[in-house]
Amino acid sequence: MCGIVGYVGHRPALDVVLDGLRRLEYRGYDSAGVAVLTGADGLAVERRAGRLANLEARLDEVGREAFAGTTGMGHTRWATHGPPVDRNSHPHRDGRGRVAVVHNGIIENFAALRRELEGAGVEFSSDTDTETVAHLVARAYDGVDGGDTEGDLPASLRAVCRRLDGAFTLVVTHVDEPDRIVAARRSSPLVVGIGSGEMFLASDVAAFIEHTREAVELGQDQVVTITRDGYEVTDLHGEPSRVRAFTVDWDLSAAEKGGHEYFMLKEIEEQPEALANTLRGHFVDGRIVLDEQRLTDQDLRDVDKVFVVACGTAYHSAMVAKYAIEHWCRLPVEVELASEFRYRDPVLDRDTLVVAVSQSGETADTLEAVRHARGQKARVLAVCNTNGAQIPRESDAVLYTHAGPEIGVASTKTFLAQIAANYLVGLALAQARGTKYPDEVAREFNELAAMPSAVRQVLGTVETARRVAASLADAKAVLFLGRHVGYPVALEGALKLKELAYMHAEGFAAGELKHGPIALIEEELPVVVVMPSPKGRAVLHAKLVSNISEIQARGARTIVIAEEGDETVRPFADSLIEVPAVPTLLQPLVSTVPLQVLAAEIARARGYDVDKPRNLAKSVTVE
Ligand code: F6R
């Protein structure tokens, strides 16, 4: 949801900033823009609606030499206030063009601030909330409104931030300050990259990983000033503030396509590794261990109810977790869409465990759910893929999914990693509460640990899914059916198809079919069915076979994901995609993979950008 890059150093800033934006484009691709301080009172700005490529073409037209300078910043936008047109693209400037600002987030009181500024004679040139900040910083720097910020860029930004409501990462430059950039954050991400004779600012380390893996993560309401030699962090009142330094544990190759046409295709293939890395180090001396465990075993024993809150794909991983946690821990588990959670007065107290699942760790709906839960004294455990993001920072305990950077906007490897991590949470609960004996916990963990090789096996057989995809490219709609843990898999398959192929797709619990959705079945309608194991869930298997025969009798075209050797279902499958036999609770880890391939290949066949589906962004930092 908007990507931000800032640079002060010895290299041409334009090149560094554009490289960074290329790696952050997954965060938004409605427009892109850059600003470079060119010395001698110069601030060169260019911005363009649409993808980064449009901006680059424009820079070629105007001539890149106009952007010579070693201090600069850039932005890639996911539109909130104002349509994605040139005038709403960042950076935004004050009326005299001396201050430039890029912003990620939403300034909730911008309308009041704008009215105040317009009352003072300020003219606006965009519809954005961000432009108010450019005017306010310019006025603070010029001492127009009094106060002691005149000629002091960090103090000016601090004073402005104190007036802002909402979420923001702001990066600000001023023509009078060609050797430094100032930035601030509240509830939106910002990291500082520490190079040698150069410093970086970015929404995500991917932007500067090519240059340095040493980073510092800013906290809530902190303001940072970077120069080529260092950085200084204060709170909003100018008091020195502590930050957390970390070393990024993946390298540039992880953030590059590695010969694949799309990141998503590479990320689908990385799933065995994502699973293995997520499990690594969590079973030590016969015990499950979590990452930043700020909850004691006694806390876990006191839990009398679990909520798993999340959005989108992460929500589907939460649905899967419910089956395992209830089964292993004999605890009631409620799965909630994070966007609904705090609006319906859930019953929470200090014995409630809320598990917040988020790849990005910055999804606004999930973050607000976490805050609501903590406000009600519930304990919160975050399952997150992004080190030090806001959700884990505000939680009592954290379990990281070590899936590596996921650049494709549609989640793939992080879904599998989330399921594995949620299962570790379930096993940690079962272990602390004694609902499983240590040897049973060990057995479950070992079964999980065998999954990377099962997923690798599935990846070796995705050719069938590709062939099926080719035949579905012109379908109008596709239905997905599943039962038990196959139900969230069906929902995930439908979500992938909607977001990538812009096709109407619906997932149903197969048992619900006869209660209404069966009316949708017509000649040639493709219906994807996720089968349970004929041995592991024989009763459900038999019921699903009946469901398939019912829809086949009504002319639907059945595409069946079934366990290898499942002969009973074969006669009912117009297309059969086989996956290896694995324990029931682990089936989502194998049966999701062909559905990811199906969606990606249908999108490709329809000529869509698999990595950057329309209207979407990787992390959704607005409610
Ligand atoms: C779908 C997808 C989204 C995210 C959702 C939550 O492919 O990626 O549905 O799963 O926006 O995002 P995180 O996990 O970052 O909270």
Tell me which residue has its CA closest to atom 3 in ligand 1. 312
Share of the chain above pLDDT 90, in %: 85
Confidence of residue 278 (pLDDT cuts 50, 70, 90): very high
Preceding amide of 189 cis, omega within 30: no
Tell me which residue has its CA closest to atom 11 in ligand 1. 312
Q: Does domain 459-605 have CATH number 1.20.59.20?
A: no
Atom of ligand 1 nearest to the CA of 359: 14
**What separation in Å is there between the alpha carbon of 603 and the centre of ligand 1?**
18
Residues 263-449: name the CATH superfamily. Answer: Glucose-6-phosphate isomerase like protein; domain 1 (3.40.50.10490)
Three-state SS at 202: strand
**Mean pLDDT, to the nearest integer, of 506-533?**
94
Tell me which residue has its CA closest to atom 10 in ligand 1. 313
Pocket lined around ligand 1, Cβ cut-off 6 Å = 311-314, 358-360, 363, 366, 410-411, 495, 499, 619-620
Sign (positive/negative) of CA torsion 248, 249, 252, 256?
negative
Catalytic residue check, 2: yes
What number of other Cβ atoms are within 10 A of residue 104's Cβ?
A: 31
Q: What is the pLDDT of residues 298-354, one digit of tens each?
A: 999 999 999 999 999 999 999 999 999 999 999 999 999 999 998 989 999 999 999
**What separation in Å is there between the alpha carbon of 618 and the centre of ligand 1?**
7
Exposed e or buried b for every residue in 491-526, given b needs 16+ CB within 10 A?
bbbbbbbbbbbebebbbbbbeebeeebbebbeeebb
Exposed e or buried b for every residue in 165-186, given b needs 16+ CB within 10 A?
eebbbbbbbbbebbebbbbbbb
**What separation in Å is there between the alpha carbon of 206 and the centre of ligand 1?**
18
Q: Which residue has the tokens 């993808």?
A: 51
**Mean pLDDT, to the nearest integer, of 436-458?**
97
Indicate whether 35 pLDDT > 90: yes
**Rounded to two decimals, what is the model's pTM?**
0.85
Residue 443 CB partners (closer than 8 Å, separation 6+): none
Atom of ligand 1 nearest to the CA of 618: 8
- DSSP classification of residue 240: B
Distance CA 415, CA 384 (A): 11
Confidence of residue 255 (pLDDT cuts 50, 70, 90): confident
**What separation in Å is there between the alpha carbon of 26 and the centre of ligand 1?**
13
- Strand partners for 561: 530, 577
Which segments of the chain belong to CATH 3.60.20.10? 3-255
Write out the E strands in 40-165: 42-49, 71-77, 92-93, 99-107
Atom of ligand 1 nearest to the CA of 414: 14
Write out the two tokens for 522.
């017509």
Pick the catalytic residue: 2, 161, 329, 384? Answer: 2
**Mean pLDDT, to the nearest integer, of 277-296?**
88
Confidence of residue 167 (pLDDT cuts 50, 70, 90): confident
Distance CA 77, CA 461 (A): 38
**Mean pLDDT, to the nearest integer, of 527-535?**
95
Confidence of residue 554 (pLDDT cuts 50, 70, 90): very high
Atom of ligand 1 nearest to the CA of 496: 7
**What separation in Å is there between the alpha carbon of 313 and the centre of ligand 1?**
5
Residue 150 CB partners (closer than 8 Å, separation 6+): 140, 141, 142, 143
Three-state SS at 183: strand
Amino acid at 581: A
pLDDT at 64: 95
Confidence of residue 619 (pLDDT cuts 50, 70, 90): confident
Atom of ligand 1 nearest to the CA of 314: 10
pLDDT at 107: 93
Write out the two tokens for 271.
């799933």
Distance CA 340, CA 337 (A): 5
pLDDT at 622: 73
Q: What is the pLDDT of residues 406-436, one digit of tens each?
A: 989 999 999 999 999 999 999 999 999 999 9
**What separation in Å is there between the alpha carbon of 237 and the centre of ligand 1?**
35
Q: What is the mean pLDDT of the chain?
A: 94
- DSSP classification of residue 91: P
pLDDT at 187: 84
Residue 370 CB partners (closer than 8 Å, separation 6+): 309, 354, 356, 380, 382, 391, 394, 395
Lowest mean pLDDT among 85-94, 254-263, 313-322: 254-263
Which segments of the chain belong to CATH 3.40.50.10490? 263-449, 459-605
Q: What are phi and psi of 400, to 5 degrees?
A: -85, 140
- Angle value at C-alpha 563, between 561 and 566, nearest 5 degrees: 105
Least Cα distance to 455 among 339, 594, 356 occurs for 594
CATH of domain 3-255: 3.60.20.10
pLDDT at 337: 97
Tell me which residue has its CA closest to atom 5 in ligand 1. 312
Tell me which residue has its CA closest to atom 7 in ligand 1. 410
- Angle value at C-alpha 193, between 187 and 195, nearest 5 degrees: 165
pLDDT at 621: 74
Q: Which residue has the tokens 């693209």?
A: 89
Share of the chain above pLDDT 70, in %: 100
Confidence of residue 119 (pLDDT cuts 50, 70, 90): very high
Helix (H) or strand (E) holding 245, with range, is strand 244-247
Residue 298 CB partners (closer than 8 Å, separation 6+): none
pLDDT at 617: 79
Report the largest interatomic distance among the alpha carbons of the chain, rounded to a whole angstrom. Answer: 81
Q: Which residue has the tokens 């939403």?
A: 106
Residue 249 CB partners (closer than 8 Å, separation 6+): none
pLDDT at 249: 80
- Sheet bearing 333-337, strands edge to edge: 292-293, 397-400, 379-384, 352-358, 305-310, 333-337
Write out the two tokens for 32.
């892109």
pLDDT at 25: 87
Tell me which residue has its CA closest to atom 16 in ligand 1. 358
Pick the catalytic residue: 266, 436, 496, 618? Answer: 618
